[in-house]
């Protein structure tokens, strides 16, 4: 019975396991009577799954079920005992898929789903690649940005901040926009502020030098080389 059961396709790995267990427990005539609990323990599945698989095997014509009852005179006299199963594996039933699709004719050898004998999957560069989204990270919202500020430039600035390992938060974006608008009210060009910050890899925007006296914004500290260059230029201007 094991040899006959091993070549039968049931369309479900758990169902095949139950069938093999019944075949291993049966006599040469195909009779066996294990309980649902015993089958569940051997196959390492729930009792409900065993009942479902046995019902499907019966529908496929692979076994016949005879229900029996105890005949004792105790209070539990009429409780159902284990069923008697008779495996009917001749002739071999073709594979019936779970989806209801027709299986390939017996003369055809189905392609293996994987392994060295399976056909390789051709590469197609047009296949979409769905990259997993990072959990817990929210996209910045540009809702409510004043029309005076260029969204493309603001987006480029946000990308620059990511590149220098100083990503923007929604709160930081709000503070930046307020600072840009404040400097704009003092005569600065919002686009110029963002472009200068992007080119200089600044973490904020700063007023041009011409507005130092009229603005509270401060530019980043210059490097020593720049300070020496400015000092030399002022010295030459003085001696001239």
What is the pLDDT of the chain when averaged over all its residues? Answer: 74
Is the pLDDT score of 179 beyond 90? Answer: yes
Contact 86, 75 (CB under 8 A): no
Query: What are the structural domains, with CATH classification, of the chain?
Result: 2-71+78-87 (1.10.10.10), 151-223 (no CATH)
Beta strands 84-87 and 31-32, pairing class: antiparallel
- Does an H or E element contain 54, and which? helix 47-59
What's the token pair of residue 229?
């260059």
**What span, in angstroms and rounded, lies between the C-alpha atoms of 17 and 10?**
10
Chain segment 123-141, per-residue pLDDT in tens: 344 444 444 454 455 688 8
Chain segment 97-108, per-residue pLDDT in tens: 444 444 444 444
Question: Cα 113 from chain centroid?
Answer: 22
Beta strands 84-87 and 63-66, pairing class: antiparallel
Give the pLDDT confidence score for residue 88 in this predicted structure.
Answer: 87
Token pair 């060295």 is found at: 116
Whether the pTM exceeds 0.85: the reply is no
């Amino acid at each position: 019975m094991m040899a006959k059961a091993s070549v039968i396709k049931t369309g479900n790995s758990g169902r095949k396991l139950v069938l093999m267990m019944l075949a291993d427990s049966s006599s040469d005539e195909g009779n066996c009577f294990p309980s649902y609990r015993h089958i569940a323990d051997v196959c390492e599945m729930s009792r409900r799954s065993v009942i479902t698989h046995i019902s499907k095997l019966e529908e496929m014509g692979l076994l016949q079920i005879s229900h029996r009852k105890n005949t004792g005179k105790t209070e539990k006299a009429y409780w159902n005992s284990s069923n008697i199963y008779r495996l009917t594996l001749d002739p071999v039933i073709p594979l019936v898929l779970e989806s209801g699709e027709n299986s390939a004719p017996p003369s055809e050898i189905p392609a293996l789903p994987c392994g060295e004998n399976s056909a390789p999957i051709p590469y197609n560069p047009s296949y979409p690649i769905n990259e997993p989204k990072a959990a817990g990270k929210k996209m910045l919202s540009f809702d409510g940005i004043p029309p005076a500020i260029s969204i493309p430039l603001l987006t480029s600035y946000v990308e620059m901040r990511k590149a220098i390992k100083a990503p923007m938060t929604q709160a930081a974006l709000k503070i930046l926009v307020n600072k840009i608008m404040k400097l704009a009210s003092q005569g600065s060009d919002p686009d110029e502020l963002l472009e200068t910050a992007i080119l200089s890899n600044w973490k904020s925007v700063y007023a041009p030098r011409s507005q130092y006296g009229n603005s509270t914004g401060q530019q980043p500290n210059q490097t020593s080389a720049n300070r020496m260059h400015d000092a030399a230029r002022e010295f030459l201007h003085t001696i001239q």
